[in-house]
């Protein structure tokens, strides 16, 4: 049990709002529950959530010590009441989550509990599949990342051995990633291969295309296939053969077909006409090719997974059933 005394600057606040600020890791759902159960008391008595506090009031908080820790990314999962996850696939070793555009994989500089990793850790902790107080160091971790405004499949490892194997497979390019994007124009040729060099300006978080090798520039290779076109837009499937920062966005723009909604590499004027503020890009399909031994994950060899829906494909091209893409591939 911990006690908090209300000071002059906190007087007049509602009980629930005061506790929310004083114990930022406590989920809103638990906060309200603990007030109802009188695990949060004012001057030794139960109180309503909208009770106004006065100077000198003493709050007794019968709350687990972990919620009083200083908020940081490692304990952000504690703040998550009901995890928000769209799970494509799950087993005892991995989770494939469909990250929605606008969601961060990890917090970006400031504490944020609305991240994919916080929701995955909360999901596992609440299921009892991960017990952080019993672990010496391991925590469920993401094996790949996707930009905030890009959606798609993110791989999470549930144990250290799966994490080690998946990191090795990603470095060895033994996991194939396919993206859908909506671009301005009609690619010519309709199907092809983009191969050049990307130079990253870390200060601007932007990459630049180079036609020839130069210090700091890395090879970038993308295979693309035009699936259909509607008006000024085309729906394109991209297969990453390398995994560089902003690879698809920069290469497609350089080729003359910038992504719809891309404020960094696209056309602001064109995007404004459609009202899109985030790039139309989705990591929709994943294949665990695993040509070499994958240890405890060998059962995934040759398995393919994909999301059920890509909003911009449906909105602009009427593609609600992604089986259409399989037919187009044949």
In this prediction, residue 323 has a pLDDT band, given cuts at 50, 70 and 90, of: confident
Measured CA to CA, the distance from residue 258 to residue 311 in angstroms comes to 18
| pLDDT tens by residue, 121-159 | 999 999 999 998 777 679 999 999 999 999 999 999 999
Could you tell me the pLDDT band of residue 324, with boundaries at 50, 70 and 90? low
Per-residue pLDDT tens over the stretch 86-103: 999 999 999 999 999 999
Q: What are phi and psi of 122, to 5 degrees?
A: -65, -40
Instruction: Give CA–CA dist 294/299, Å, rounded.
Output: 8
> Cα angle vertex 1, ends 24, 25, to 5°?
15
Domains and CATH numbers, the chain: 2-68 (3.10.290.10), 73-171 (3.30.2350.10), 175-329 (3.30.2350.10)
Predicted confidence at residue 189, as pLDDT, reads: 96
Q: What is the pTM of this model?
A: 0.85
Phi, psi for residue 72 in degrees, rounded to 5? -155, 170
Q: Could you report the per-residue pLDDT of 196-248, keeping only the tens digit for each?
A: 999 999 888 899 999 899 999 999 999 999 999 999 999 999 999 998 999 99
Mean pLDDT of 49-68: 93
Can you give the pLDDT at residue 20? 92
Return the number of other C-beta atoms located less than 10 Å from residue 137's C-beta. Answer: 5
**3-state SS record for the chain:** CEEEECCHHHCCCEHHHHHHHHCCCCCHHHHHHHHHCCCEEECCEECCCCCECCCCCEEEECCCHHHHCCCCHHHHHHHCCCCCCCEEEECCCEEEEEECCCCECCCCCCCCCCEHHHHHHHHHHHHCCCCHHHCCCCCCEECCCCCCCCEEEEEEECCHHHHHHHHHHHHCCCEEEEEEEEEECCCCCCEEEEEEEEEEECCCCEEEEECCCCCCEEEEEEEEEEEEEECCEEEEEEEECCCCCCHHHHHHHHHCCCECCCCCCCCHHHHHHHCCCCCCEEEEEEEECCCCCCHHHHHHCCCEEECCCCHHHHHHHCCCCCHHHHHHHC
What's residue 327's pLDDT?
A: 65
Residues 6 or more apart whose CB falls under 8 angstroms from that of 56 comprise 5, 6
pLDDT at 70: 85
Binning pLDDT at 50, 70 and 90, where does residue 325 land? confident
């Amino acid at each position: 049990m911990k006690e908090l005394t209300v000071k002059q600057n906190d007087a007049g606040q509602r009980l629930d709002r005061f506790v929310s600020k004083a114990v930022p890791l406590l989920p809103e759902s638990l906060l309200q529950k603990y007030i109802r159960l009188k695990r949060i008391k004012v001057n030794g008595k139960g109180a309503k959530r909208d009770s106004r506090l006065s100077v000198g009031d003493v709050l007794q908080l019968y709350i687990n010590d972990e919620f009083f820790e200083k908020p940081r990314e490692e304990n952000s999962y504690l703040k998550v009441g009901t995890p928000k996850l769209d799970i494509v696939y799950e087993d005892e070793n991995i989770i494939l989550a469909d990250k929605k555009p606008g969601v961060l994989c990890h917090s970006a500089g400031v504490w944020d509990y609305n991240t994919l990793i916080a929701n995955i850790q909360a999901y596992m902790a609440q299921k009892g599949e991960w017990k952080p107080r019993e672990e010496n160091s391991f925590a469920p971790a993401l094996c790949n990342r996707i930009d905030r405004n890009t959606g798609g499949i993110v791989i999470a490892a549930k144990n250290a051995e799966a994490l080690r194997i998946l990191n090795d497979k990603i470095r060895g390019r033994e996991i194939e990633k396919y993206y859908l994007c909506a671009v301005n124009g009609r690619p010519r040729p309709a199907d092809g291969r983009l191969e050049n060099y990307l130079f990253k300006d870390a200060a601007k978080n932007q990459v630049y295309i180079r036609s020839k090798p130069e210090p700091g520039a890395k090879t970038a290779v993308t295979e693309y296939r035009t699936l259909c076109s509607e008006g000024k837009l085309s729906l394109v499937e991209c297969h990453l053969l390398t995994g560089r920062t902003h690879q698809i966005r920069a290469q497609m723009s350089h080729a003359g077909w910038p992504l719809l909604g891309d404020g960094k590499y696209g056309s602001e004027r064109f995007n404004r006409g459609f009202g899109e503020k985030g790039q139309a890009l989705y990591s929709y399909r994943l294949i665990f090719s695993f040509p070499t031994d994958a240890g405890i994950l060998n059962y995934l060899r040759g398995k393919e997974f994909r999301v059920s829906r890509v909003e911009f494909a449906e909105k602009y091209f009427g593609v609600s059933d992604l089986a259409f893409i399989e037919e187009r591939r044949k």
